[in-house]
């Protein structure tokens, strides 16, 4: 299987697993792309953009998400570790609004 096909399958499985855990109404979008850790091991960078700040993402919920995505990936013979980040609405815009230092 080509690397791009493997990445496409990993993205689809990751997105469907997270949507099932949180519900489609809680998620604005999910970005998934291949990455490497500091030791050069392959991984997946997963950023979940939430629709509201009211979605509670505790440490336990983050761990549950990592476990669920890891299991889903293993089911398609993909053993990369998913590095999951949750962002609330407006996060991207906060960096755009930063004022330069005087």
Distance between CA atoms of residues 34 and 69, nearest Å: 14
Give the residues across from 49 on adjacent strands.
Answer: 29, 87
Q: Return contacts of 29-38, CB within 8 angstroms, 24+ apart.
A: 33/7, 34/3, 34/7, 34/80, 35/83, 37/81, 37/83
Half-sphere exposure of 13 (CA within 13 A, CB side): 22
Could you give all domains of the chain from N- to C-terminal order, each with its CATH number? 3-91 (3.30.300.30)
Give residue-wise pLDDT tens across range 9-55. Answer: 999 999 999 999 988 888 999 999 999 999 999 999 999 998 887 65
pLDDT score recorded for residue 96? 46
DSSP three-state, residue 61? helix
Q: Are 46 and 65 in contact (CB under 8 A)?
A: no
Give residue-wise pLDDT tens across range 55-82. Answer: 567 888 889 999 999 999 999 999 999 9
Distance between CA atoms of residues 9 and 7, nearest Å: 5
């Amino acid at each position: 299987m080509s690397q791009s096909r493997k990445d496409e399958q990993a993205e689809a499985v990751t997105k469907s697993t997270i949507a099932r855990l949180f519900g489609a109404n809680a998620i604005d979008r999910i970005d998934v792309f291949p990455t490497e850790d500091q030791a050069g091991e392959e991984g997946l960078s997963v950023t979940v953009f939430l629709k509201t700040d009211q979605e509670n993402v505790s440490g336990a919920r983050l761990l549950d998400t990592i476990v669920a995505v890891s299991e889903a990936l293993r089911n398609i013979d993909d053993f990369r570790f998913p590095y999951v980040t949750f962002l609330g609405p407006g996060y991207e815009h906060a960096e755009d609004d930063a004022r330069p230092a005087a």
